[in-house]
Amino acid sequence: MLFKYSFVPIMTMEIDGVSVDISFASLPSYPFKLPEFLDILSNDILRNVSEHTLHSLTGCRCTEFVIQKLRSENKLDIFRQTFFGIRFFTKQYKIYKNVMGYLGGVNITILLASTNLLENDFLTNTFHFFHFVADHLGSEIIAMTPQLSFPELGFDEENWSDKPSNFSNHDSLVLLTPTYPRMNTARTISRSSLQFIRSQARRVYEKIKSYVDGESTLLQMVEPYQFFEGFPIYFEVLVSASANSEFKDWLGLVESKIRYLVFFLSLRIENVALNPNPIVSKSNSNAACFYIGLTVDLTKATTLDLSQCVNDFIDIVRLQQPKTARLGLRIRYREELKELKETIPKSWEEFAEKEEFCDILEE
């Protein structure tokens, strides 16, 4: 599946049940064949590349920089273990997927490498990570390296501005890449998404603390957050199409843009949170629903007019809408969505009895 016109051009696929994103990049310096050994951290690789290729290379360059840094500090193994633990809990608590306004792999990598959270075993590191996110994320700019300037490469304007006005007026969270140009990897995270990330992080570290203190079991620690019990009202976005190929394209497009609907809703409603996992219809394989949780004080208003939010979102996705694609939006109540409660895989129960958390991570 291709996401055309995306900020980072990618192709998504599944290999043995594992979701994989493959970035596209065109390097004019190597028009016919790549060298056997390509130094992706060399700034010369950016010479004459397009803006889209720059964005494609940024994640790879950032990850390679961190890997080399941690390898030199003999922390690479504990980093990997801690990273898998953090990714597990962010997925369980519905705050993992950067394109939808939450944390992604590059965000977590930068946070781990820049906050000195790799001094203990991976579960303790994971606990400290979520404690930091809950109490401090968004309060300061996270930067691993100083800003550099290479006018001859033509990307100095891509450097994120260090001016406080830029931080306070535009970006809710700033996690800067350690490679040139220094860009904000958290640009998709809005104030409402950051608020949800921090509240969920608090739930995670309280769960881990309870387990470490012997007050709960491993199975209780790894239970998923029940998103459909957390809000009184939900905004349902139904995505469908007649043909499977068009449905996949349409689903991918809406997935890449739905954070804008969350932002529009957050201008009218204080507590808004998106479930990053679409629910595929049981009766129609070419249909799926996204859900946005809303906390609304109905004692202050008898009506809730969200028509402008909806219209603004439709205007964004309409230009790339496939011919047979449909988009349905409606309000649902918590009582209507009880059947969407998540359960734990049976195999986890066996691992939990043996206190084998690592096996759960590898599932």
As a whole number, the mean pLDDT across the chain is: 88
> 10 Å Cβ neighbour count for 272?
26
Please state, in angstroms and rounded to a whole number, the distance separating the CA atoms of residues 256 and 3: 8
* Residue 167: band (very low, low, confident or very high) from pLDDT cuts 50, 70, 90: very low
Question: What pLDDT shows up at residue 156?
Answer: 92
pLDDT at residue 353, rounded to an integer:
73
Distance CA 255, CA 258 (A): 6
Region for 329 from its dihedrals, namely left if φ exceeds 0, alpha if ψ lies in -120 to 50, beta otherwise: beta
Q: Kindly report, residue by residue over 255-278, the tens digit of the pLDDT.
A: 999 999 999 999 988 899 999 999
The CA-atom distances, in angstroms, between 225 and each of 92, 124, 221 are: 6, 21, 10
Who contacts 319 (Cβ-Cβ below 8 Å, separation ≥6)?
A: none
Can you tell me the mean pLDDT for 137-155? Answer: 92
pTM of the model: 0.90
pLDDT at residue 17, rounded to an integer: 67
For residue range 117-135, list pLDDT tens digits in order: 788 788 999 999 999 999 9
Share of the chain above pLDDT 70, in %: 92
Asked if 258 and 306 touch (Cβ cutoff 8 Å), the reply is no
Q: Which of 155-159, 160-164, 175-179, 277-281 has the lowest mean pLDDT?
A: 160-164
Q: What is the pLDDT of residue 298?
A: 63
% of residues, the chain, pLDDT over 90: 62
pLDDT tier, 363 (very low <50, low <70, confident <90, very high otherwise): low
Which tops the pLDDT comparison, 288 or 166?
288
| Backbone phi, psi, residue 119, to 5° | -100, -5
- Checking if the pLDDT of 302 tops 70, the result is no
Give the range among 90-94, 158-162, 225-229 with minimum mean pLDDT. Answer: 158-162
**pLDDT by residue (tens digit) across 30-46?**
877 888 888 999 999 99
Domains of the chain (ranges; CATH) run 2-222 (1.10.1410.10), 232-336 (3.30.70.590)
Query: Which residues have CB under 8 Å from 307's CB, separation 6+?
Result: none
**Distance, CA of 238 to CA of 341 (rounded, Å):** 19
> What's the whole-number mean pLDDT along residues 295-299?
74
Distance in angstroms (rounded) separating the CA atoms of residues 186 and 259: 13
Residue 168 has pLDDT above 50, yes or no: no
